[in-house]
């Protein structure tokens, strides 16, 4: 469904030299700085796949999604979505995909959402019956029926995001590019949007490429993730494999009773178990490979007084942060 080959986008930005004379100099001799927001990115995504697109701020995620949507042109490389070349901006392609930018509003601010939807119906020439059926389904799934006639500017952030999603889906696109659709939402709305996306993907087999800085989104929705860093693809594969990349580490957190919080024995743990972290409040965190968890916990419990102990997976955020830090 999506085929991307060595997609590259270089931004050329005018570099200002500080100070007055720098400004004067800049009038005659401009210096430019080139940033490769995307560099030789290649991947293919099959129909119906729900792929997470990860990377730190400035990695090139939005740039890539914009190239796939035909909003900006690649410097080199090619993209094909359902056989279309996005740079040609054909009408048939516009009907096939939707781009949702969580950071941007696409709805008319001073109109109730329903009016924006009616405008979109006219723009995409959606037949009345199909429009009604689609709108009904989306409004019910997202539980916003009673908000349809409220001015968009008066909606809560979560309600507005739901309306944005409806607007993007009215023409029944086959491919969805979702750029941080849950940004800034409270946990309840985040969960609602997630659940909606999962149901929608399954029900209609739409192909989805999703970026989010919330790992809960990625964990719940995507089996496969593509990770980019400084414009380059550094991982493409199963989310599970990425999570296990650090040797299936687990975190053992022990809480020492106040009396022994400053005692000596944790120092021996430090030397014995390697990766350890100690907080002032007596909280002691060890990171050990999954297969050693039981043995290490037993040893800790038998070594000294422990007020509490918990065993957790190392959060995906940490695994990914480590992946970035090992990249130059
Ligand atoms: N129009 C532009 N002109 C110049 N540089 C740009 C432009 N758009 C993006 N960039 C640069 O390209 C790089 C990638 O930006 P991009 O918005 O794709 O990152 P991102 O992965 O979406 O990050 P975030 O998680 O913060 O949204 C950044 O260094 C950014 O400053
Ligand atoms: Mg972005």
Q: What is the DSSP letter of 305?
A: -
Q: Is the CB of 305 inside a 6 Å radius of any atom of ligand 1?
A: no
- CATH numeric code, 2-243: 3.40.50.300
293: Cβ–Cβ under 8 A, 6 or more apart, which residues? 250, 252, 311
Query: How confident is the model at residue 260, as a pLDDT?
Result: 57
Q: Is the CB of 169 under 6 A from ligand 1?
A: no
Q: Is the CB of 62 under 6 A from ligand 1?
A: yes
Phi, then psi, of 172 in degrees rounded to 5: 55, 60
Query: How confident is the model at residue 268, as a pLDDT?
Result: 67
pLDDT 10s digits, 123-177: 999 999 999 999 999 999 999 999 999 999 999 999 999 999 999 999 999 999 9
Q: Looking at domain 249-325, which CATH architecture does it have?
A: 2-Layer Sandwich (3.30)
pLDDT at 270: 64
Which residue's CA is the nearest one to ligand 1's atom 6? 11
Ligand nearest to the CA of 60: 1
Give domain limits for the chain: 2-243, 249-325
pLDDT of residue 68: 96
Per-residue pLDDT of the chain (328 residues; tens, 9 = 90+): 999 999 999 998 877 777 777 777 777 777 778 889 999 999 999 999 999 999 988 899 999 999 999 999 999 999 999 999 999 999 999 999 999 998 888 899 999 999 999 999 999 999 999 999 999 999 999 999 999 999 999 999 999 999 999 999 999 999 999 999 999 888 988 999 999 999 999 999 999 999 998 888 999 999 999 999 999 999 999 988 887 765 567 777 777 766 555 555 566 666 676 667 777 777 778 888 777 788 888 887 887 778 888 888 777 777 777 777 777 5
Cβ distance 197 to 208 under 8 Å? yes
CB of residue 212 inside a 6 A radius of ligand 1? no
212 backbone dihedrals φ, ψ, rounded to 5°: -160, 145
- How far away, in angstroms, is 213 Cα from ligand 2 center? 10
Do 79 and 3 touch, CB atoms closer than 8 A?
yes
Pocket-testing residue among 33, 59, 101, 212, ligand 1, by greatest number of atoms within 8 A of Cβ: 59
Tracing tokens 């792929």 back to the chain, one arrives at: 51
Does residue 38's CB lie within 6 angstroms of at least one atom of ligand 1?
A: no
């Amino acid at each position: 469904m999506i085929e991307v080959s060595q997609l590259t986008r270089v931004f050329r930005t005018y570099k200002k030299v500080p100070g007055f004379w720098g400004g004067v100099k800049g009038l005659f001799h401009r210096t430019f700085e080139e940033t490769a927001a995307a560099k030789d990115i290649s991947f293919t995504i099959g129909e119906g796949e729900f792929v997470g697109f990860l990377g730190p701020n400035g990695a090139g995620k939005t740039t890539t999604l914009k190239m796939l949507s035909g909003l900006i042109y690649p410097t080199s490389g090619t993209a094909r979505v359902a056989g279309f070349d996005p740079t040609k901006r054909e009408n048939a392609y516009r009907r096939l995909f939707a781009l949702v930018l969580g950071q941007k509003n696409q709805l008319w601010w001073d109109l109730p959402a329903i009016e924006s939807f009616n405008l979109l119906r006219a723009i995409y020439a959606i037949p009345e019956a199909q429009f009604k059926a689609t709108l009904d389904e989306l409004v019910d799934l997202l539980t916003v029926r009673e908000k349809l006639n409220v001015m968009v500017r008066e909606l809560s952030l979560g309600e507005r995001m739901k309306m944005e999603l409806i607007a993007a889906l009215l023409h029944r696109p086959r491919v969805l590019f979702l750029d941080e659709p849950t940004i800034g939402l409270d946990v309840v709305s985040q969960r609602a949007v997630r659940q909606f996306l999962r149901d929608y993907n399954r029900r209609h087999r739409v192909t989805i490429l999703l970026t989010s800085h919330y790992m809960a989104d990625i964990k719940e929705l995507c089996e496969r993730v593509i990770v980019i860093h400084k414009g380059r693809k550094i991982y493409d594969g199963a989310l599970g494999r990425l999570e296990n990349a650090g040797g299936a580490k687990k975190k053992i957190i022990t809480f020492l009773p106040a009396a022994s919080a400053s005692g000596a024995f944790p120092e021996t743990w430090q030397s014995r178990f390697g990766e350890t972290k100690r907080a002032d409040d007596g909280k002691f965190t060890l990171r050990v490979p999954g297969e050693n968890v039981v043995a290490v916990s037993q040893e800790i419990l038998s070594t000294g007084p422990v007020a509490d102990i918990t065993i957790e997976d190392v959060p995906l955020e940490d695994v990914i942060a480590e992946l970035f830090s090992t990249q130059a």
